[in-house]
Amino acid sequence: MNNLQTNSAIDPQAARQALAELFGFRSFRPHQEEIVSAVLSGRDVFAVMPTGGGKSLCYQLPAYLLDGVCVVVSPLISLMKDQVDAACANGLRAATLNSVTSPEERSAIAAALRQGELNLLYVSPERFNTPGFGDWLKRLQVSFFAIDEAHCISEWGHDFRPDYLALSRIATEFPGVPLAAFTATATPRVAEDISARLKLRSPHLTRASFNRPNLFYQVTPKDDLDGQLREFLRDHQGESGIIYRTTRKNVEATAAMLRSHGIPARAYHAGLPDGERAENQDSFRRDECQVIVATIAFGMGIDKSNVRYVVHADLPKNIEGYYQETGRAGRDGEAARCVLFHGRQDVAQLTRFAADIEDEEARETALSQLGQMLNFARTDNCRRVALLGYFGEKFPEKNCGACDVCLGEVEREDATVSAQKALSAVARTDGRFGAGHIADILTAANTKRIREQGHDRLPTYGVGKDRDKSYWRAVMDALLGQGLTRVDDPRYPTPTITDDGWKVLRGQRTFQLIKQAASSRKSRKSRGTIDGDEPYSLGLFASLREARTRRARADNVPPYVVFSDRTLHEMARVFPDTREKLLAINGVGKRKLEAYGKEFLAVINAYRQANPGEVAIPTAPRKPVPCFIPPNPGGGRTGTVLETMRLLEEGKSLPEIAKARSLKADTIVTHLEALAATGYELHQDQFFTPRRLEEIFALYRQTQTWQLKPVVEESKGTLDYSEARLARIFLQQREDFGENALTED
């Protein structure tokens, strides 16, 4: 039994009422209510929640309801400023103490704390570690502590900060005060370490899903990186996004390259003068600059909700960092795109970085994490399955519908013979040479090393000279990514053949090489779940954005602190014309209604008068679209999908199309889903008899879900995943389908 304070008198209804009044939300997001309840009851909390999952609300709402002040430990000054601005905009009383707080401001904050006038006090770990600061806090009424970015306390985490170690004193020095720790990224090992270091006392534990369904994942080998970046940005004009580079030099070069091609981009890294770095960051926060090119030093301090894409132009050091950085896209829940460009030079650079680490254990950890990152980049399976698998989470479906692999943006070709040639060269050189040397052997390169080793006399010498070296490097990467070879130490990347690799070499299984479809090299607009693609008036949204920018400048806050894009989208959908209707919009609480209501209602009514033909877009009568079909703003029939459509129009069945294209049936179904999403009419009698379709529909009704796994399991072996997915397309399109289709008696 822990010795923590309790506030059992607080009615749960009060939390829901405060949720609506302060934040303008009609319901909690997953896990928020249970965490809020635990904090209100005086329990310690440890919560792992994805970026954009609403962690800040989990401590801001209890801080409003509890007596005293919640002390929030947050890692960066800019992040604290954004959160204070957002909290105050919602009607909370918040302040921050950090290195840029003036003596006059510190005095005013101290006076407000003594008089009980603040709900939230944000401090940095360095400030908390200042001698005497803990004693000063003991003279105040502290309701609870909230530790943001708690993974920084773990030396096993990807962003360890020594100053966070001082937080381990909280449980000892404040034995009666609850402690709530939050992080977006923590493997089970890191989570255990965090809990132990903070000395959490019988904490309420929440480990939310790491899945971010609104994020689309794409992994692409580097070809012409500058050209690839320009092409991507041309398709995302007017959208806010982050491009990550590994080194300061590359940050500067990429930003300059983009500017030279008419794309206004700013740089951010720790080596810039303080004033320039702050100006570039503020410009991005305020939507004055849409593209920021940065090292990973940028991002943790940004609470910007409308980042529509995150591009990694170099391979990240580890998956946790990659997940954290991609999580800065789509924090508002709207669709966003995450693109990773990677090349062999990235591996060499990161291996050097890791090898230079003096501490042996830390060096081995860094190399192991790099190996895991490489496996993710080279996999030929669903990106989401691989990403969630790293965190110990199993994605329930075979096709996520929101990555390049699952949407058919990559093509597969049978390359079994090529794999056998490469594996034979590996076997004949005893697995002692790297991929580059193997490619030289296959292409009959006349190098000094080949001559010295006598490899020009091998039977495999020159058997692949009909293809260039880059092709054979791609084959070697694919063999590694598919587990047919393995590299035990990134410092010495010499592949050895696995048991599955020997099966390919002996002709006992096939090998497919995946590559980006030529027709999909042109990036399409951001896509994710259908929830982020509700229709709205583009004209009204533009007018509302202008009004938001004006008000944000007047209040000296980032635009998203006024209203998020998601809130403006709903306004541009509903056309609210009264205060009551505006208050019903998600993200509009009483404080924001009083502060901004008159101004934004005037914009909406002026737009309505100027555009009498436009009316509110009714969302309820819309025929539901299944969540697994991604929105296609610009029409998304790629070349590979069009080829499937051509065979479809020849009357071929699913197995016939799959055989003709040398693709899996599941991939063809993905193409059919994409066609259905663009309005193409599929004919069910080309795939099912009426009786068979009704049998499958009965299974969906029995399981009360559109998820595949329960339906397939309910069939007891009579239905596979491809058939279930295919049937789902037609069932969702039935004329009698409605919102309650699965709950009808």
Quick one: pLDDT at residue 520? 46
- Do the Cβ atoms of 706 and 627 come closer than 8 Å? yes
Quick one: pLDDT at residue 441? 93
Identify the band that residue 528 occupies on the pLDDT scale cut at 50, 70 and 90: very low
Distance of CA 358 to the CA centre of its chain: 32
CA-wise closest residue to 220 among 338, 340, 310: 340
- What distance in Å separates the CA atoms of residue 177 and residue 170, rounded to the nearest whole number? 9
Which pLDDT tens digit goes with each residue over 644-695?
Answer: 888 887 888 888 888 888 777 877 887 887 777 656 778 888 888 888 888 8
- What distance in Å separates the CA atoms of residue 220 and residue 216, rounded to the nearest whole number? 13
Sign of dihedral through CA atoms 676, 679, 681, 684? positive
CA-wise closest residue to 512 among 475, 483, 463, 461: 475
- What distance in Å separates the CA atoms of residue 112 and residue 105, rounded to the nearest whole number? 11
Identify the band that residue 429 occupies on the pLDDT scale cut at 50, 70 and 90: very high
Q: Stretch 135-163: mean pLDDT, rounded?
A: 83
- What distance in Å separates the CA atoms of residue 386 and residue 375, rounded to the nearest whole number? 9
DSSP 2-64: ------TTS-HHHHHHHIIIII--SSPPTTHHHHHHHHHTT--EEEE--TTS-HHHHHHHHHH
Quick one: pLDDT at residue 720? 85
Q: Is 60 exceeded by the pLDDT of residue 634? A: no
Quick one: pLDDT at residue 526? 34
Q: What percent of the chain has pLDDT over 70?
A: 87
Quick one: pLDDT at residue 8? 46
Quick one: pLDDT at residue 637? 43
Q: Is 60 exceeded by the pLDDT of residue 736? A: no
Quick one: pLDDT at residue 311? 96
- Of 222-236, 267-281, 392-406, 419-433, least confident by mean pLDDT is 392-406
- What distance in Å separates the CA atoms of residue 574 and residue 222, rounded to the nearest whole number? 43
- Do the Cβ atoms of 427 and 686 come closer than 8 Å? no
Quick one: pLDDT at residue 346? 82
If one compares 280 and 530, the residue with the highest pLDDT of the two is 280
Contacts with 221 (C-beta within 8 Å, 6 or more apart), sequence order: 341, 342, 343, 474, 477, 516
Q: Stretch 473-479: mean pLDDT, rounded?
A: 83
Identify the band that residue 226 occupies on the pLDDT scale cut at 50, 70 and 90: very high
Q: Is 90 exceeded by the pLDDT of residue 260? A: yes
- What distance in Å separates the CA atoms of residue 60 and residue 633, rounded to the nearest whole number? 36
- Of 246-250, 406-410, 464-468, 562-566, least confident by mean pLDDT is 406-410
What SS3 state is found at 423?
helix
Cross-strand bridge partners of residue 221? 342
If one compares 631 and 95, the residue with the highest pLDDT of the two is 95
Q: Is 80 exceeded by the pLDDT of residue 328? A: yes
Quick one: pLDDT at residue 628? 33
Per-residue tokens: 279 = 């100006």
Average pLDDT for the chain: 82
Q: Which domains does the chain possess?
A: 12-207 (3.40.50.300), 215-402 (3.40.50.300), 416-510 (1.10.10.10), 535-610 (1.10.150.80), 639-733 (1.10.10.1390)
Maximum CA pair distance of the chain? 86
Contacts with 494 (C-beta within 8 Å, 6 or more apart), sequence order: 431, 432, 433, 434, 487
CA-wise closest residue to 329 among 214, 195, 464, 200: 214
Q: Stretch 710-716: mean pLDDT, rounded?
A: 83
Quick one: pLDDT at residue 267? 93
Alpha helices in 235-296 (DSSP H): 248-260, 274-285
Contacts with 531 (C-beta within 8 Å, 6 or more apart), sequence order: 213, 214, 333, 627
Contacts with 80 (C-beta within 8 Å, 6 or more apart), sequence order: 72, 74, 96, 98, 122, 123, 124
Quick one: pLDDT at residue 431? 87
Q: Is 60 exceeded by the pLDDT of residue 632? A: no
Q: Is 70 exceeded by the pLDDT of residue 432? A: yes
Per-residue tokens: 551 = 């008000």
Sign of dihedral through CA atoms 471, 477, 480, 481? negative
Identify the band that residue 700 occupies on the pLDDT scale cut at 50, 70 and 90: confident
- Of 149-163, 384-398, 485-499, least confident by mean pLDDT is 149-163
Region of 704 (left: φ > 0; alpha: ψ -120 to 50; beta: rest) is left
Q: In the structure, how many helices (H) and strands (E) does the chain have? A: 32, 17
Buried b (16+ CB within 10 A) or exposed e, 345-355: ebbebbbeebe
**Helix H or strand E encompassing 265:** strand 265-268
Q: Is 90 exceeded by the pLDDT of residue 285? A: no
Identify the band that residue 484 occupies on the pLDDT scale cut at 50, 70 and 90: confident
Query: Of the ranges 227-236, 345-354, 695-704, 720-729, which is most confident?
Result: 227-236
Q: Stretch 238-247: mean pLDDT, rounded?
A: 92
Q: Stretch 16-34: mean pLDDT, rounded?
A: 87
Q: What percent of the chain has pLDDT over 90?
A: 30
Q: Is 60 exceeded by the pLDDT of residue 421? A: yes
Q: Stretch 185-214: mean pLDDT, rounded?
A: 86
> Within 13 Å of residue 394, how many CA atoms lie on the same side as its CB?
4
Quick one: pLDDT at residue 630? 35
Q: Is 70 exceeded by the pLDDT of residue 490? A: no
- Angle (nearest 5°) at CA 55 between 49 and 59: 135
Q: Stretch 221-233: mean pLDDT, rounded?
A: 90
- What distance in Å separates the CA atoms of residue 311 and residue 263, rounded to the nearest whole number? 15
Identify the band that residue 274 occupies on the pLDDT scale cut at 50, 70 and 90: confident
**Secondary structure (H, E, C), 98-113:** CCCCCHHHHHHHHHHH
Which pLDDT tens digit goes with each residue over 601-628?
Answer: 999 999 988 887 776 665 433 333 233 3
- Angle (nearest 5°) at CA 491 between 488 and 497: 30
- Do the Cβ atoms of 309 and 236 come closer than 8 Å? yes
- Angle (nearest 5°) at CA 216 between 472 and 622: 140
Quick one: pLDDT at residue 142? 94
- What distance in Å separates the CA atoms of residue 184 and residue 149, rounded to the nearest whole number? 7
**Helix H or strand E encompassing 363:** helix 360-378
- Of 39-53, 159-173, 276-290, 575-589, least confident by mean pLDDT is 159-173
Query: Of the ranges 176-190, 215-229, 371-385, 670-684, which is most confident?
Result: 215-229
Per-residue tokens: 680 = 């193409």
- What distance in Å separates the CA atoms of residue 566 and residue 307, rounded to the nearest whole number? 12
What's the DSSP call for residue 72?
E
- What distance in Å separates the CA atoms of residue 486 and residue 420, rounded to the nearest whole number? 16
Q: Stretch 232-259: mean pLDDT, rounded?
A: 92
- What distance in Å separates the CA atoms of residue 567 and residue 564, rounded to the nearest whole number? 5
CA-wise closest residue to 24 among 549, 602, 532, 562: 562
Per-residue tokens: 532 = 């982020």
- What distance in Å separates the CA atoms of residue 28 and residue 732, rounded to the nearest whole number? 28
- Do the Cβ atoms of 722 and 670 come closer than 8 Å? no
Query: Of the ranges 343-352, 356-365, 380-389, 521-530, which is most confident?
Result: 380-389
Quick one: pLDDT at residue 152? 83
Rounded to a whole number of angstroms, the CA Rg of the chain reads 28
- Do the Cβ atoms of 320 and 370 come closer than 8 Å? no
- Do the Cβ atoms of 214 and 327 come closer than 8 Å? no
Identify the band that residue 146 occupies on the pLDDT scale cut at 50, 70 and 90: very high
- What distance in Å separates the CA atoms of residue 180 and residue 410, rounded to the nearest whole number? 43
Q: Is 80 exceeded by the pLDDT of residue 523? A: no
Query: Of the ranges 37-46, 489-498, 508-517, which is most confident?
Result: 37-46
- Angle (nearest 5°) at CA 546 between 545 and 551: 95
What SS3 state is found at 141?
coil
Q: Is 90 exceeded by the pLDDT of residue 258? A: yes
Quick one: pLDDT at residue 266? 94
- What distance in Å separates the CA atoms of residue 287 and residue 685, rounded to the nearest whole number? 51
Quick one: pLDDT at residue 534? 57
Which pLDDT tens digit goes with each residue over 51-78?
Answer: 777 888 999 999 999 999 999 998 777 6
